[in-house]
Each structure stands twice: as structure tokens, then as C-alpha cells.
Amino acid sequence: MIPKNADETPEDADWSIAGEKKSQASAAASEGNYDDALKFYGEALEAEAVTASLSATTLAKRADILLKLDRPAAAVHDCDAALIINPDSVRALKTRGKANRRLGYWTKANLDLAAAQNIDYDPDLAELCSLVKDKAASELAKERDAERKKELEERKKKAAEEHRKKMQQEEAERAASSGPGMGGGMPGMGGGMPGMGGGMPGMGGGM
């Protein structure tokens, strides 16, 4: 980046451009020109990136514009980046909470909005926080019910499998014990035949 004067360093020039772009973005947003605001915030972030000093505030402001453009997932992405830089960014927490609400992630939305309120209470956000809190409680209850049902089904399957194995084992034990006993009785029956045949010679001798 070429400095505007001899006393200005390239880094100063980038900061100057970033500031100018943020002003343009703010003006565009105030007029409802969100597409232009998004473009200017993007250019501001590019200028900040050159200085290796991204602003959590700029990221959070762009996230707010993304949410206004009905791009909640992209808004969450920018808020995530902003909160890495500044975990206490109220703007980022509020915007991510609203974006997660739009995405239907009530528990996440509740956590973000509650955190924002703890840092800097906003009475205008109280009604939304109450709604999100109720939805989050309902979501958590459904998740717990689903988890209990899953555990119950797993226990039923385990019990059925154990019963099946037990029945197979008992059947195998019965087969093993009954097979040799039946075969062992046959020689005894056959053993009596010689005795009958032994009396015939005596009869013949008397004749």
C-alpha cells in the first residue's frame, strides 16, 4: 500500500483505508444498503488483515450485516472469529445468539444471549432472551427424552440378545446330554438273546 505522504507508513495507510471503508459501510447500512455495507466491511477487513490486526468489532459488524441479509450461518462464522479475538465482544455474542436462533439452535442461542446480557444488560433484548430461554428448555427436554428412549431401546436389544444366547446354550446342553443315553440301552436288549437260544439243545436231547 502506497502512503499518502512521506511521514505515513504502509501500515498507517492500511489503517486509514480500513477506517474509511468502515465509515462507508456504516453509512450504507444506515441507509439500508446492506449489500454495499457488506462489501465495504469486507474491504475494511482486508486492509486490517494487511496489518495483521483484525478487529473483533469489524467482524461483528459484518456479521450483523450478514444476518440482515438472511445469511445466519455466515454471520455465525464471523462471530466465531470475532470471539476468538475478543471473547467478551457483546456485539458478537448478541449477533451469534440471534443467528443461532434463526438457525433453530435454541440452546446455543440462549447461551450467547445470556452471556451478552451478563456483560452488558440490554433491556431491549430481554423479551427475546425470555423466548429463547423457553425454547432452549424445551429443546433440552426433547433431547433428554430422545436419549432416554435410545438407552431403553439399547437395553431391550441387549436383553433380547442375552436371552437368545441363553436359549441356544440350554438347547445345546440338552442335545449333548440326551444323545449318548439313548444309544447306551440297546446292547442290553441284544444281550438276552443268547439265553433263549441256549435252552434249545436241552429240549432236543430229551427227544
- What are the residue boundaries of the structural domains of the chain, listed by start? 1-53, 72-169
C-alpha cell at 39: 462489501
Instruction: Write out pLDDT tens, residues 117-166.
Output: 999 999 999 999 999 999 999 888 877 877 888 887 888 888 888 888 88
Report which of 27, 2, 6, 30 is spatially closest to residue 16, judged by C-alpha positions. 2
> What pLDDT does 50 receive?
87
Residues 6 or more apart whose Cβ sits within 8 Å of residue 55: 18, 45, 48, 85
3-state SS string for 52-81: CCCCHHHHHHHHHHHHHCCCHHHHHHHHHH
C-alpha cell at 138: 424445551
Instruction: Write out pLDDT tens, residues 86-101.
Output: 999 999 999 999 999 9
Give the whole-angstrom CA distance, residue 30 versus residue 20: 16
> What pLDDT does 130 receive?
95
Share of the chain above pLDDT 70, in %: 80
Q: Which fold has domain 72-169?
A: 1.25.40
